[in-house]
Structure 1
């Protein structure tokens, strides 16, 4: 599968979400969304990223944009993560990694010489027509949520 590019249709997904709800992209048809992939709940970078998106939630809401975070963690772990850090986000449990694979963010990683498969921190801005409007790969957390909000304002 070739890497997704700006203008491509965003792959749909239907995942178990926090609070027992389903998280689907197609349910937002006609509305823009931010879909961000992160490696693991309750780790330093992932927590900072989730807190940053939560702090900007009202700004995204005012633009009619839903922010969805996806990781391989279970919905139960997402619920604990949300409660622990008082997050206000929709999180989806991509436990089988099919969505991460469809978006091209399930990649080989290398830590301390050990190779393993994992999520490459990435964000996709999806327009109201379901097309990818912007892509951020290998995301560095500081300032990222603000950059996504700035791009979202241009939709």
Structure 2
């Protein structure tokens, strides 16, 4: 069953950059942006995560956190994050259980570029799943969604 707007966000606990474990419940009380992306070091993923990283202060002003999630290893995420100088954590969903819970797997089990905004109570308030993954939701659009939750 797909995670949809109005549903409680599926729980997760994943290792992320910085050697920390991140759980959905850690972010209860303020908005959370979950950016599912297909692959570290790919051109579109690089552009997407750079865009979100450059808007970190705008998200922080709204008391919102951004998390990037993909199926690559923690080592890959650490290197990708370091090279891009990202300002938010990348989480390793190597077994794709979180991707399954959020219904972001496409044909052949590949991640579809997807983004969710979860409100302070843990409810999904925005969901977008791409079909082809050649574009991504802008920081401005996501910031507007987070502002609407205030």
In the other structure, the counterpart of 1:126 is 118
The 5 A counterparts of 1:80-99 are 80-99=79-98
How much does 1:77 deviate? 0.7
The yes-or-no answer on 1:146 pairing with 2:140 is: yes
Residue equivalent to 2:22:
23
Aligned to 1:9: 8
- So what's the TM-score if we normalise by structure 2? 0.93
**1:117 to partner: Cα distance:** 1.7
* 1:54-133 → structure 2 map (5 Å cutoff): 54-108=53-107, 116-133=108-125
Q: Structure 2 CA distance, aligned partners of 1:4 and 1:83?
A: 31
Match of 1:40 in 2: 39
Alpha-carbon shift at residue 67 of structure 1 (Å): 0.3
Deviation at 1:18, TM superposition (A): 0.3
Provide the rounded CA distance (Å) in 1 between the counterparts of 2:119 and 2:12: 16
Unaligned runs of 5+ in 1: 109-115
Q: C-alpha displacement at 1:37, in angstroms? A: 0.3
- SS of equivalent residue, structure 1 residue 73: coil
Aligned length: 146
Give secondary structure in 2 for the equivalent of 1:153.
helix
- Kept after mapping to 1: 8 A contact 2:3/2:10: no
Q: Is the helix fraction higher in 1 or 2?
A: 2
Deviation at 1:151, TM superposition (A): 1.1
- Asked if the contact 1:23–1:91 (Cα under 8 Å) also holds between the matched residues in 2, the reply is no
Q: Higher Cα Rg: structure 1 or 2?
A: 1
TM-score relative to the length of structure 1: 0.91
After TM superposition, which residue ranges in structure 1, 4 or more long, deviate above 2 angstroms? none
The structure carrying a bigger strand percent of its residues is 1
Given that residues 38 and 119 in structure 1 are in contact (C-alpha distance below 8 angstroms), is that contact kept between their aligned partners in structure 2? yes
RMSD: 1.1
Q: In 1, distance between residues paired with 2:61 and 2:70?
A: 26
